[in-house]
Amino acid sequence: MRAYRNAARVVADLPESVESMLASGRDLAELPGIGRDLAGKIAEIARTGRLGLLDEVAARTPPGLTELAALPGLGPKRARALHDELGITTLEGLAEAARAGAVRGLRGFGRLTEERILEALGALGRRAPAEQRIPLAAAERAAAPLVEHLRAARGLTALAVAGSFRRRRETVRDLDLVAACREGSDVIDRLVAFPGVEEVLARGTTRSTVRLASGLQVDLRVVPEESLGAALHYFTGSKAHNIATRRLAIERGLKLNEYGVFRDGRYVAGRTEEEVYRAVGLPYIPPELRESRGEIEAAQAGDLPLLVEEGDIVGDLHAHTTASDGASSLREMAEAARARGYEYLAVTDHARRRDAAQGRTGWLARQMEEIDRLNAELDGIVLLKSAEVDILADGSLALPDALLERLDLAVCAIHSSLALPRERQTARVLRAMESPYLSILAHPTGRKIGRRKPSELDMERVLEAARERGCVVELNAQPARLDLDDVHCRMAKEMGVRVAISTDAHRAAELGLMRFGVDQARRGWLERDDVVNTLPLEELMALLRRPAPSGRPAR
């Protein structure tokens, strides 16, 4: 490096140009501080205007590295180390690593260097791209082809999507992939070569970050097999859960990081997540619970919930047909429910306010007859007579009691006046629940993720009333709704209110959305007994039977 700089000074100070010296046959190696090798390179530049070696190095160097090297306090050596050790090639990548505290651990870097880097980056006015979250279902669609592509990598022994995706959060910011590999795997090459990759943000030997054409960022970490459990645990998070787990490790004189559990620098565990938890004295904690909302304490007390599973679900209590805005016929819906192994399906086409006002409810009477016919014809599935009944602005229901009485259950929901002030909205829902026919309060807050805020509702009072009156609340499994959310599910459970996980399917295939509802329910700590559509039909109907108002016989 210094030789080049000195040579540059000598050349710049020459009384005549290098070209004319060469033209008159002079040997550049005679100049002070310039040897054979340098003389040849200078001659090459003079002749061709380029330097082959420089072109070669430039081709091998990620373009961002010069930018990194130019940062105050860094320089080429440290830039190279950041690249080789952490796979950093851009200022954004550097900012992320520094913020995460990953830089200070490198040889020749310290906490101070990290701070200086962050300062310098701040001075440059560079910030991480604005936080943008995408619905879990969309993230799944993006992840599936990528994961399939990576599975073909050489030497790959395990691959998982970790992060918020694995915790089944309703939205995710990026995909965090963890791969376990044998030596010499090409999994990072395969990631970079994935057709959907638009930009490679970082590429190292154990880590790479790319941005897909959709804008979704993907982080891939590659670990040896004995670190798989520790890496999965670390990159599944949440961060708060990790911190709590690491604290337990420290209390036991252990060190826990993404490579394993260590005692006095010696690896003691880390191949599986179970091993990691066992090392810190805990049973396995399902990813959906890892939000630092009391799961560590529950695990220590042996009180972890036995979370509901998709296989526990034996029916769906909210589905549409072509009788309202669904795309599949009653028969198609029935057959699809049976194909899923369900025992029952509640048919809940819309009973709208205007239908009732204009006495246009003939469709419902006809549908009930058709349900009778299909129930007689089809084995292995029972269609329940129901409707999704509008809760009107004053809290009354859009169907007359005489019709409600003929239904097996009524699924009631707000579809208008979503913006009422909190007091009025709450009173409206409470009034609706006074009807002995309201079986299930559907998508209680009316939110649409990323599109519509939840309506103002005092959920505690609503759940209180639901318990008193024996109403069930819905967890709508549509990925854009997931309403109740996880926090409200937990609240319902703690208050003793049961939940129906329902797909609100508008076509046969949407019965498959059930798993998104189950995921959210698990995040809300729900167990099988908290969910009504795990019950066999007879028990379900007994549970839905509401106390009859005075003077009227119970249904």
CB of 357 to ligand DGT, least distance (A): 45
Candidate list 239, 366, 461, 552; residue touching ligand DGT; CB under 6 A: 239
Q: Are strands 350-351 and 388-390 parallel, antiparallel or unpaired?
A: parallel
Task: Give the other-Cβ count within 10 Å of 551's Cβ.
Answer: 5
**Of 327, 372, 329, 344, which Cα lies nearest the Cα of 507?**
327
Stretch that binds ligand DGT, among 112-120, 239-247, 336-344, 347-355 (CB under 6 A): 239-247
* 164 is an interface residue for ligand DGT by CB under 6 A: yes
* 111 is an interface residue for ligand DGT by CB under 6 A: no
Torsion angle of C-alpha atoms 373, 510, 446, 165, degrees rounded to 10: 150
CB of 507 to Ca ion, least distance (A): 31
Complete DSSP assignment for 204-267: -SSEEEEEETTS-EEEEEEE-GGGHHHHHHHHH--HHHHHHHHHHHHHTT-EEETTEEEETTEE
* 235 is an interface residue for ligand DGT by CB under 6 A: yes
Q: Of the two residues 174 and 295, which places its CB atom closer to Ca ion in the complex?
A: 174
**Of 362, 356, 411, which Cα lies nearest the Cα of 385?**
411
CB of 123 to ligand DGT, least distance (A): 23
| Alpha carbons 221 and 176: distance in angstroms, whole number | 8
CB of 97 to ligand DGT, least distance (A): 10
Decide: 176 and 208 in contact? Cβ < 8 Å. Answer: no
Structure tokens at 45: 């530049």
CB of 174 to Ca ion, least distance (A): 4
| 3-state helix, strand and coil shares in percent for the chain, rounded to the nearest 5 | 45, 15, 40
Q: Of the two residues 219 and 335, which places its CB atom closer to Ca ion in the complex?
A: 219
* 176 is an interface residue for ligand DGT by CB under 6 A: yes
Decide: 177 and 219 in contact? Cβ < 8 Å. Answer: yes
Candidate list 172, 414, 442, 457; residue touching ligand DGT; CB under 6 A: 172
Environment class of 36 (CB within 10 Å of its CB; exposed 0-12, middle 13-18, buried 19+): exposed
100 binds, among Ca ion, ligand DGT, none (CB under 5 to 8 A by kind): ligand DGT
| Alpha carbons 310 and 298: distance in angstroms, whole number | 23
Q: Of the two residues 54 and 250, which places its CB atom closer to ligand DGT in the complex?
A: 250
| Per-residue x/- track, 90-109, ligand DGT (CB under 6 A) | ----------xx--------
* 260 is an interface residue for ligand DGT by CB under 6 A: no
415 binds, among ligand DGT, Ca ion, none (CB under 5 to 8 A by kind): none
237 binds, among ligand DGT, Ca ion, none (CB under 5 to 8 A by kind): ligand DGT
Stretch that binds ligand DGT, among 61-69, 84-92, 161-169, 497-505 (CB under 6 A): 161-169
Q: Of the two residues 239 and 373, which places its CB atom closer to ligand DGT in the complex?
A: 239
Angle, helix 239-251 to helix 228-236, in steps of 10 degrees: 130
238 binds, among ligand DGT, Ca ion, none (CB under 5 to 8 A by kind): ligand DGT
| Alpha carbons 244 and 223: distance in angstroms, whole number | 23
Q: Length of the chain in residues, anyone?
A: 555
At residue 230, the 3 state secondary structure works out as: helix
| Alpha carbons 554 and 428: distance in angstroms, whole number | 25
Q: Of the two residues 165 and 525, which places its CB atom closer to Ca ion in the complex?
A: 165
Residues in contact with ligand DGT, counted by CB under 6 A, come to a total of 16
CB of 448 to ligand DGT, least distance (A): 19
* 238 is an interface residue for ligand DGT by CB under 6 A: yes
| Alpha carbons 455 and 346: distance in angstroms, whole number | 26
166 binds, among ligand DGT, Ca ion, none (CB under 5 to 8 A by kind): none
Cis, peptide link before residue 484, omega less than 30° from 0: yes
Distances (CA, A) of 210 to 88, 157, 202: 11, 22, 7
CB of 235 to ligand DGT, least distance (A): 5
* 135 is an interface residue for ligand DGT by CB under 6 A: no
* 151 is an interface residue for ligand DGT by CB under 6 A: no
* 520 is an interface residue for ligand DGT by CB under 6 A: no
CB of 202 to Ca ion, least distance (A): 12
Complete DSSP assignment for 408-421: S-EEEE--S-TT--
* 174 is an interface residue for ligand DGT by CB under 6 A: yes
* 242 is an interface residue for ligand DGT by CB under 6 A: yes
Structure tokens at 247: 């604290």
Binding residues vs ligand DGT (CB under 6 A): 100-101, 163-164, 169, 172-174, 176, 234-235, 237-239, 242-243
